A and B are shown apart, each in its own frame.
Chain A
Amino acid sequence: MPGLAQTLFITASGAGMNLRPHHFILWALFIAGMLLMPELVGRGTLRTMVFACYLAIFAISWDILSGRTGYISFGHPFLVGIGAYTTAILTRRYGFPVEASIPIAVLVTMFGGLIVLLPALRIKGSYFALVTLAVMELMYQLVPVVRPDLTGGTRGISRLPALTRGAENGYYLAVCLMLAVALFAWLLMRTRLGTALWAIGQNEESVRGSGLSTTRLKSFAFLVSAAIAGLGGAFYAHYLGTITPRAFFDINVLFQIIVAVLIGGAGTILGPIIGAFFMVFLLEWLRPFLPGQERFFVYGAIALLIYMYQPKGIMAIIESGITRLRGART
């Protein structure tokens, strides 16, 4: 049986990708549009967009595991938090340069996720969701207590080295990271591996029946998801400059990630991005009226309505709208 990396190589280099010219054109337009943003909008909007980009990265990470395979993870803030804490501890406490600490943070996130959550892939449905939720809550309780000299306790770690200066550079970094992650996820999902992951979400038994190792596929999805979450978490920590346990291991963070995916459209690449931008801008727009956590009331109500109306999210609503328009014309 060929190894996973080999399978990946074969499928990627083979005809399975099915890339067409219009794909390249659409991607180029999308990337150019995102990169032109600093010319079009003000600084404040750019800062909001940076948050949206990071949320989109976390959302894509969640979608690769949960949106495709149907294994709902309630523990993604845990992965993001490991990435953020690893790079924070390495740079602030041990004086690592950022170039070294971020790759290490990604590896640690993959490894940490592997130890904690891989056994959980044995169980299904609500049980998997529960274990991941419990792991997140466990981390929240452990981080301030274990070695507070390293983690900074409940007050967290502040004055992390910044990667960029100014709103524009911060935006370029975040948007490039998001575009890279999105492109990678898009390419990955066009391989046969991506198809297999999606098939697990449809019917796991029949995937196993066709001779594929579902455990291996799920582990792979999990590792990719963890790596992206760790990467996003590490960059996000340096962007924020300060991290606290409540800012990462919290049910509100989980809510934002999951809702971004669901109202955007699970199982797509553009969906989580749309969802993340929709969420961050709506919350920002509500800020003058409702300054605090109350904003989530309006936001949650809208999210619930969209979700009840169309569980496949905004993407599906747009698509059905386009088909309806086309149908009206012909």
Chain B
Amino acid sequence: MLQIIIQGLLLSGLYALIAMGFMLIFSIGRTLNLAYGAYIMVGGYIYFWLSQQLGLPKLIGFAGAVAVGAIMGLLKHRLIVKPLKGDPVAVEISTLILAVIMQSAVVLVFGDASKILLPIIPGVVTISGAQVTYNIVAATLMSWVIILALYAFIRGTHTGRAMQAVSMDQKGAAISGVDPDRINMITWAISGGLGAAGGVFFASYTQLSPGMWVAPVIISVAIVIVGGIGSIIGTLIVAHIIGFLEIIVVAVWAPELRGVFTMLLIIGVLIMRPQGLFGREEH
């Protein structure tokens, strides 16, 4: 029982972190950014390259991953999203193409075989019979730090509040003296950085492989939609619902069914209540 709670909390923290970056983009442009998975994947691989292949300190590896993710987010906004003028279908499809391009780029550079990431912080602690690695504890703590910082940033700073304003009403925000273009750029960069950071932890939780981006994208989509667009609290709650759901299914039922209930949940909620469980009404 305690094991389920601990593992559930750890996995949920990770999911919440991954979903945050996706939520930012989805709430600001209603853009289904399938290339978000590419940030996750690239973040993991950059960290692997810097810290394991080049032997640089882990902190530099992590910073490098976040920086590359942020740059990717910026470039994506400049080169693809802006020229398409926010046509959601075109953006969706171009992000799908981009995600597949990034996947094959990773195959090109790192090869097809999956790679094991060394734990960021080595060591194991046993809590009531459950083996918990320091690595995943650190990942969860880090994701909570990042989530809280993001929350403070969005609620507390002028730029953060402007981001909220743009996500609610682009024109209204522009009239009140906010430059939506600048805010969009900042949001895409933050989202890319968050995705890459999530990717480092996600890769250390599972492993690095060129196909690793699909599952986290679908999970973040599920969390964001079910949680309601633009709601940080909703995202957090649903990340825990899905995290615990998966751990319970694995522990009680069968590991193969892990993703099945997540998919059923997202399909059900989308059809019954498209605005999500905690979201504001869309018009």
Interfacial residues, chain A to chain B (CB-CB below 8 A)? 70, 72, 74, 119-120, 122-123, 125-127, 129-131, 133-135, 137-138, 141-142, 144-145, 251-252, 254-255, 258-259, 262, 290, 292-297, 300-301, 303-304, 307-308, 311
Query: Chain A residues near B254 (CB, 8 Å)?
Result: 145
Closest A-B pairs by Cβ, 7 of them: A300-B101, A138-B263, A297-B104, A296-B104, A126-B32, A294-B108, A145-B256
A-B contact pairs, 5 of them (CB 8 A): A134-B267, A145-B254, A294-B107, A297-B101, A308-B80
Separation of A74 and B274 alpha carbons in the complex (Å) = 18
Number of A-B contacts (CB under 8 A): 121
Given contacts A293-B107, A300-B100, contact A72 B270 (CB under 8 A): no
Contact of A137 among B96, B263, B271 (CB under 8 A): B263
Contact of B30 among A126, A295, A304 (CB under 8 A): A126
Q: Is B132 an interface residue (CB 8 A)?
A: no
Contact across chains for B93 and A307 when beta carbons are under 8 A apart: yes
Contact across chains for B94 and A308 when beta carbons are under 8 A apart: yes
Given contacts A129-B32, A297-B108, contact A251 B214 (CB under 8 A): yes
Given contacts A293-B107, A296-B100, A300-B100, contact A134 B93 (CB under 8 A): no
Extra contacts, 19 of them, besides A258-B93, A297-B107, A307-B90 (Cβ < 8 A), are A70-B89, A74-B96, A122-B271, A127-B270, A134-B221, A138-B264, A141-B257, A141-B263, A251-B100, A252-B100, A293-B103, A293-B107, A293-B210, A294-B107, A295-B104, A296-B100, A296-B103, A296-B104, A307-B93
Query: Chain A residues near B94 (CB, 8 Å)?
Result: 304, 307-308
Contact across chains for A135 and B267 when beta carbons are under 8 A apart: yes
Separation of A125 and B90 alpha carbons in the complex (Å) = 11
Contact across chains for A123 and B89 when beta carbons are under 8 A apart: no
Contact across chains for A120 and B96 when beta carbons are under 8 A apart: no
Contact across chains for A131 and B101 when beta carbons are under 8 A apart: no
Separation of A296 and B270 alpha carbons in the complex (Å) = 32
Given contacts A72-B89, A123-B271, A127-B274, contact A304 B108 (CB under 8 A): no
Contact across chains for A138 and B260 when beta carbons are under 8 A apart: yes
Closest Cβ–Cβ distance, residue A159 to chain B (whole Å): 25
Separation of A137 and B214 alpha carbons in the complex (Å) = 9
Beta-carbon nearest neighbor of B83 in chain A: A308
Query: Chain B residues near A292 (CB, 8 Å)?
Result: 107, 112
Q: Is B105 an interface residue (CB 8 A)?
A: yes
Contact of A131 among B83, B98, B267 (CB under 8 A): B267
Separation of A201 and B264 alpha carbons in the complex (Å) = 28
Closest Cβ–Cβ distance, residue B88 to chain A (whole Å): 6
Query: Chain B residues near A311 (CB, 8 Å)?
Result: 90
Contact across chains for A296 and B101 when beta carbons are under 8 A apart: yes
Separation of A292 and B105 alpha carbons in the complex (Å) = 12
Contact across chains for B93 and A142 when beta carbons are under 8 A apart: no
Query: Chain B residues near A258 (CB, 8 Å)?
Result: 93, 96
Max count, chain B CB within 10 A of own CB: residue among A119, A130, A252, A311: A130
Q: B262-283, CB under 8 A of A: which get 1 and which 0?
A: 0110110011001000000000
Q: Is B68 an interface residue (CB 8 A)?
A: no
Beta-carbon nearest neighbor of A252 in chain B: B100
Contact across chains for A134 and B107 when beta carbons are under 8 A apart: no
Closest Cβ–Cβ distance, residue A132 to chain B (whole Å): 9
Separation of A120 and B264 alpha carbons in the complex (Å) = 13
